[in-house]
Structures are given as C-alpha cells and as structure tokens.
Amino acid sequence: MGDARAQLDNLAWDKNDEAWEISQKRLRRRDTCELAASLVGEKFGRPATFSPPLIIGGYNILYKVQVEGIPSDVYVRLPCPEWVQFPIEKTLHEGATTRYVREHTEIPVPEVFYHGGRSELGPFMILQHVENHGLLVDRIKTPNLDADVTSILDPNISEAVLSDFYGKVARCLLKISQLSFDRIGSLSENVDSTFSVTGRPLSKNMNDMLQLANIPRSVLPPENTTYDTTNDWLAKDHRLSCFGFADDSWSAQSKSWSSQLSRAPSNLGSFKLWADDFRPGNILIDRSDEIVAAIDWEFTYAGPAQFILDCPWWLLLEVPESWKPDIDDWTEVCNTRLQTWLLAMESAEKDIGSDTLPFLLSVHMRESWETGRFWLNYAAKNSWAFDTIFWKYLDEKFFGLREEGVAQGDLWKTKINLLTEKERAAMEPFVKWKMEDKKERKLVDLGPEEAKRRLSEALFD
C-alpha cells in the first residue's frame, strides 16, 4: 500500500516553511539570545548569560542560560513560529500540565520556574536543565547517523533490553493513569497555584490541521470549551464512545465480544490525562539508562479514559500510516512487540501493586488491540490516517463483512447505501468543488462565517 496518510496540502506546508526560515534567522540573532538571557535575569533577579548553542526541536526553540549564583543552567523555551499554531494557548496549558504532573506524580519532570503568554519574546517557559545522557529513543532505534531519517525500532534489539525500557515507560503510564479529572479539556493554573480544566482539548492533530491543511481556525471549538462527556466531544448519535467496551450493543462485533470484555472504567466525571507527544523521543535517560525526565508536555489534556486504555502507538517508534513498506507490516510487527510491552506492563503493575491501581492497563490494552478499539481511537486522534484505518480496520467491525476483491478506489461504493438520499445527492457537488480547488492551486483563507457555513453543509447539521 505504501504511504497510508492522506495527502497534505503542500501549499500550506511550503508557506509555513518559508515563513519559518525567516523567523529562524530572527530567533538565531545575537540580540534575540540576549533577550532570552535578559528575561531570565529579570525573573530571577540575578545577572544571566546566554550559553550557546541553540536547540531547535519539533515545536520549540531553547536557549540555555547561566544564572549567577545558581549551579544548574536553565532553558528559555519558545514555541516555533509558523509550526505552532496556538503559541500562547499551547504554552500556558503546557506550563500548567508540566507543573501538575511534577506535583501529583513521581514521574521525573523538569521544574517550570516561570511561564507566561506575554514577554518581549512572546509566550515563554523557563525550565530547569536536567543533566542527562541522551534520549531513550536513541537506545532502542535502528542506528543511523542521518538526523533527518525517521527513527524506527531496531529489529535486532534484544528482548531483555527492550523489555527493560518498555517497563520503565510502563511505570510512567501507570502513574499517569491514576490522575483523574471531572471534564475533558486542557489544564490551566489558577492564581492560588491550583489547577483546573478550563480550555479546549488542544491536540497535535488540531495544530497539524491548521499548519498542513489550511483548516480555518473558526471551525475549531472556542478556546474555553470543555466537555462533560466523551459523546459530547467525539461521538455522534452516542455510539462510537462505547465501541470495544462491554456496553457496546450496536456494532457488528458486539455479538461475539461484549460478553467477554472486562468492565471498563467510567467515562463520566473521571477523565484521564492523555499526552499526544508522550513517547521515547521525549524521555531523557542517564548513563545507567534510568529515566531522569519526561519532557515536552505540549498537546496534553484530560481526555476519554479509553485513550489511555489503548496500547501505545509508539512501540515501533514510527506511526503506522508512515511505516515502510506499509501499514499491514506495521500491524504485524507491532503485534509481536506488543507481547513484550504487555509483559512489561504486567510486571510494572505487580511491582506497584495491582490493588492500588484504578484498573489494569495491561488487560484493557490487550482487549483494545484484539477488538480493534486501538484503531478507532487512533483514527479519532489522527485525521491523516483516518481513511486508510477506516476501510482496513473499522468498516467491517462496525457494519459487517463486505464482498472480497473490491478495489481500493471502489470501497466507498460498498457503503453508499448507508447514506440518505440527501447525502448522496450532495456528494457530486462536493467532489466537484474540491477538485476545482485542487486545480487552482492556491490557498484560500475563508472568513469565520463562510467556513462555518461550509462545514455545516458538509456535516448536514
């Protein structure tokens, strides 16, 4: 099959890359580096000096600063312009989340000394520098000196080494699973240093849709939107949120699975912290391969409990839709590595004490993979992979078996009968409109009302 991702909007991508090249020059200038040191000096009330080099990550740029009288360096961390579509919102929620995790779990997390939405440099965080010997991902990936090559799990890694690393990460996830929230949304820090869910669930997928597909901001939920239930946020007709659980009584799989499934944790008033970017590439280790810091808590929010009940997408390091040679191979390889992960998780649960945990992640993760709930939740969180995952892993589970031998391009015809007459009539004009847009090859910035009108038409709201 090859690349299973939906096509990105190359015009939007190029536009943001060109703007980033300009911004990067500004951010690298000496006067900008001095501003970072000045900000630290102002906050700590001590002389501060920039210490090169800069660190540019996927979403952030970091300036190391030495503060007089303080033995450890600090970092000024700024969101990368053009790549980060919600810089103030992201920074404020990430600062609050990082502090919350540090205060309420034993997961090693860098201290956030200061963070804010406004400064001469824009939104910022001032973080503790944690001494480390590199990233966990570098210990388990296929060796490659080319930094531009996407990391994949080393196929020759020993079972013992992989199990050890999986076990350490499993312990972090178990600690995260013990955190509960009464609403779905992003965390904010209150003036009294307590924390509340006050913002929309800001996800990596939302950022990517704006950056790489030119989706209008106005069609997204308002910034202060939170949700009481999973159905309010994700599901239509109150059905998808129970797929793969014992209360799933409507999908094609329910007749054979429902009676065999474990009791799922409540999805009402007990939501779990979900981190889109929690992965080995954001975990620092020391020379003894012990975890010293989990970093980059951006795009983390209180979400449906079922998200954390899925096995991690990063077990092979690369996402399924970009795996080579194809997503089928990813599934086959992941099925093997999943057994190692589940054993490591079971061992971690035993060490922590099963009776102290709200539920056993190992049990639900195994069921998630076997029932296909993993794919449902993955598609819900990753728009680029939705089409492939629906036809390959979800269609027949929801709607029953289809005829064999249907060409990929004709799969949609097998489900045309599920659409209403009004929906079928709207297909041709919609496709024609999209094809004309593709021929014109130009970015169109729709106004808020026009964008909402077109979305409403597409969804038949």
Q: What is the DSSP string of 193-251?
A: S-EEEEE----HHHHHHHHHH---GGGSPPTT--BSBHHHHT-STT-GGGTTSTT--SS
Does pLDDT of 444 surpass 60? yes
Pairing status of strand 48-50 against strand 55-56: unpaired
> Among positive and negative, which fits the CA dihedral 239, 243, 249, 254?
positive
Q: pLDDT band at 393, cuts 50/70/90?
A: very high
Residue 39 to residue 95: CA distance in whole angstroms:
17
**153 and 315 in contact (C-beta within 8 Å)?**
yes
Question: 130 falls in which pLDDT band (50, 70, 90)?
Answer: very high
Q: Residue 433 is which amino acid? A: W
Residues 6+ apart with CB under 8 A from 38: 48, 120
- The contacts of residue 25 (CB under 8 Å, 6+ apart) are none
| 3-state secondary structure (DSSP) of residue 363 | helix
pLDDT of residue 1: 41
Q: How far apart are CA 268 and CA 304, in angstroms?
A: 9
Helices 361-371 and 373-381: angle between axes, nearest 10 degrees: 90
Region at 69 (left for phi over 0; alpha for psi -120 to 50; beta for the rest): left
Half-sphere exposure of 425 (CA within 13 A, CB side): 5
Whether 78 contacts 88, CB under 8 Å:
no
How many other β-carbons are positioned within 10 Å of the β-carbon of residue 28? 13
Asked if 166 and 344 touch (Cβ cutoff 8 Å), the reply is yes
List all residues 6 or more positions away from 21 whose beta carbon is below 8 Å from its beta carbon.
none
| Cβ-count burial 48-64 (b if 16+ within 10 Å, e if not) | bebeeeeeeeebbbbbb
What's the pLDDT at 125? 98
Tokens, residue 396: 């027949």
pLDDT band at 254 (very low <50, low <70, confident <90, very high): low
38 vs 353: CA distance, rounded Å: 48
Residue 13 has pLDDT above 90, yes or no: no
Angle at the Cα of 202 (from 196 to 205), degrees rounded to 5? Answer: 160
Question: Phi and psi for 81 in degrees, rounded to 5?
Answer: -60, 150
If you average pLDDT over residues 115-136, what whole number do you get?
97
Residue 377 Cα to chain centre, angstroms: 12
The arithmetic mean of pLDDT across residues 294-312, rounded, is: 96
**Is pLDDT above 70 for 237?**
no
CA 312, CA 275: separation in Å to the nearest integer?
A: 11
For the cut 80, the answer to whether the pLDDT of residue 320 exceeds it is yes
Closest CA to 85 of 222, 257, 205: 205
Taking Cα atoms as reference points, which of 106, 98, 103 lies closest to residue 352? 106
Mean pLDDT computed over 250-263: 70
pLDDT in tens, 149-165: 889 999 999 999 999 99
Cβ-proximal residues to 389 (8 Å cutoff; 6+ apart), any chain: 4, 320, 321, 327, 375, 378, 379
Is the pLDDT reported for residue 252 higher than 80? Answer: no
Instruction: Give the angle 82-85-90 at the CA atoms, nearest 5°.
Output: 125
Phi/psi zone of residue 67: left (φ > 0), alpha (ψ -120 to 50 degrees), beta?
A: beta
Sequence-distant (6+) residues with CB within 8 A of 418 are 399
Alpha-carbon distance of 137 to 144, in angstroms, equals: 12
Beta-sheet pairing, 124-128 with 112-116: antiparallel
Token code pair at residue 50: 């920039």
Residue 137's SS3 state is: helix
Name the residue type at position 261.
L
Reported as a pLDDT band with limits 50, 70 and 90, residue 428 is confident
Rg of the chain in Å (alpha carbons): 23
Structure tokens at 414: 């097998």
Confidence of residue 242 (pLDDT cuts 50, 70, 90): confident
Mean pLDDT of 315-337: 96
Confidence band of 42 (pLDDT split at 50, 70, 90): very high
What is the model's pLDDT at position 107? 98
In this prediction, residue 66 carries a pLDDT of 97
Instruction: For residues 444 and 21, give the distance between their C-alpha atoms in angstroms, rounded to a whole number.
Output: 22
Average pLDDT, the chain: 91
Tokens 């001032």, residue located: 126
Mapping DSSP onto H, E and C, the string for 432-458 reads HHHHHHHHHCCCCCCCHHHHHHHHHHH
Least confident of 23-27, 47-51, 118-122, 242-246: 242-246
The residues near 241 (Cβ < 8 Å, ≥ 6 apart) are 229, 230, 231, 234, 235, 267, 304, 306
What is the reported pLDDT for 23?
A: 87
If you average pLDDT over residues 437-455, what whole number do you get?
A: 82
Q: Does the pLDDT at position 240 exceed 90? A: no
